[in-house]
Amino acid sequence: MFGGLSNGAITAFLITLSVLMALLLVFFALELAKDKANPPEEEQAEEQEQSSCSQEQGNSEDSSSQRVEVLPVYTIQSYEVVDEDVSDCPSQTVEELQEPVQQAETIETQPQEQDDTTAQALKKGIATLLPVEDETGEMGVRYDRSFTAKLIQSDDQVKEWYSEIKNHLLSYKKVRARISWGRESFRIGKDCFARLVIKGKTLCVMLAIIPMSCNDTKYKIEDLADLPSCKDTPCLYRIKSNRRVTYAKELIDIILEEYDAQLASSREAVDYYLPYEGTLDLIKRGLIKRRIVAKSKDFLTHVNSPTDGDGGVGVA
**Distance separating alpha carbons of residues 138 and 134, to the nearest angstrom:** 8
pLDDT digits (tens, 9 = 90+) for 203-261: 999 999 998 888 888 999 999 988 888 889 999 999 999 999 999 999 999 999 999 99
Q: What pTM was estimated for this model as a whole?
A: 0.57
Give the pLDDT of residue 292.
77
Q: What is the rounded distance in angstroms from the CA atom of residue 158 to the CA atom of residue 162?
A: 6
Instruction: Give the pairing type, strands 191-199 and 184-188.
Output: antiparallel
At position 12, the amino acid (one-letter code) is A
Instruction: Compute the distance between CA of residue 279 and CA of residue 109 in angstroms, rounded to an integer.
Output: 9
Of 256, 231, 211, residue with least CA distance to 82: 231
Residue 260 is classified by DSSP as T
What's the burial of 179, exposed, middle or buried (CB within 10 Å: 0-12/13-18/19+)?
Answer: middle
Could you report the per-residue pLDDT of 44-81, keeping only the tens digit for each? 555 555 555 555 555 555 544 444 433 444 443 333 33
The region, left, alpha or beta by phi > 0 then psi within -120 to 50, assigned to residue 282 is alpha
